Homo-oligomer: A and B are copies of this chain.
Amino acid sequence: MTPPSLRRDAARNRDRIVAVARDLVDEGTPLQLNDVARRTGLGVGTVYRHFSTAEALMETLAEPCLEALAAHGEQALTETDPWRALESFLHHVVEAQVSDASLPAVTAAPTDTLPHTAELKRFLRSAGTTLLDRARAAEVVRPGLTPADLVPLMCGIAYAVQVHSGPTVDRVATAHRYLTALLEGLRAYRPSSAKP
């Protein structure tokens, strides 16, 4: 995560920047490098040296989450039940999307700043594609949606949750509900009709 071979103090500064940015994102404040500089007590120049744009910083925040999702993706790829594999992976994705505000911003962005972000997103897309393709091959999934729809739909659910938002709503639960509804529509044979 933190680039190696960085002078001790430089590394400390970098961590400080990331920590402050994390706080800003968590409290819903728009991420501005000037603002980060002020709150870290560092000079703007220092912040710019570490992160040349706000997007780069945002992607750095999202990185751990993306990596965790990638791990879940790898895990899902080893699962034998193709439906459960897909379902489980996507639930992890939406949960992450609504839990960490840095994620939707990075996920929905058409282009990436950091190579590593691009790589992770590429892997997640390919994992999703594989999982959906397997499910279609096993005929546990209805046609109509393609792998290219997965990312947009996950973003859409995250956005829907945000629109829904009020003080009394459990965002994670709502996200799962929305995904569940969508997956019901995606599934070929529903339990009720699979029983008899």
Contacts and interface: CB of A to CB of B under 8 A. Distances in A.
Interface residues of A, number: 33
Interface string A7-48: 000000000000000000000000000000000000000000
Contact of A159 (B155, B164, B182, B192): B155
Contacts of A108: 163
Number of copies of this kind of chain in the complex = 4
A152 interface: yes
A144 interface: yes
Interface stretch (A71-79, A129-137, A183-191): A183-191
Given A156-B163, A178-B149, A183 B184 contact: no
A122 interface: no
A157 interface: yes
Nearest to A153: B160
B156 A160 contact: yes
A6 interface: no
Interface in A141-186: 142, 144-145, 148-149, 151-153, 155-161, 163-164, 174, 177-178, 180-186
A145 B194 contact: no
Nearest to A187: B185
A124 to B, nearest CB: 14
A5 interface: no
A140 to B, nearest CB: 13
B149 A164 contact: yes
Given A149-B174, A156-B161, A189-B193, 10 more contacts: A144-B177, A144-B181, A149-B160, A152-B160, A152-B161, A153-B160, A155-B159, A155-B160, A156-B163, A193-B194
Give the 6 A-B CB pairs with smallest separation, nearest first.
A156-B160, A185-B185, A184-B185, A152-B164, A156-B156, A159-B159
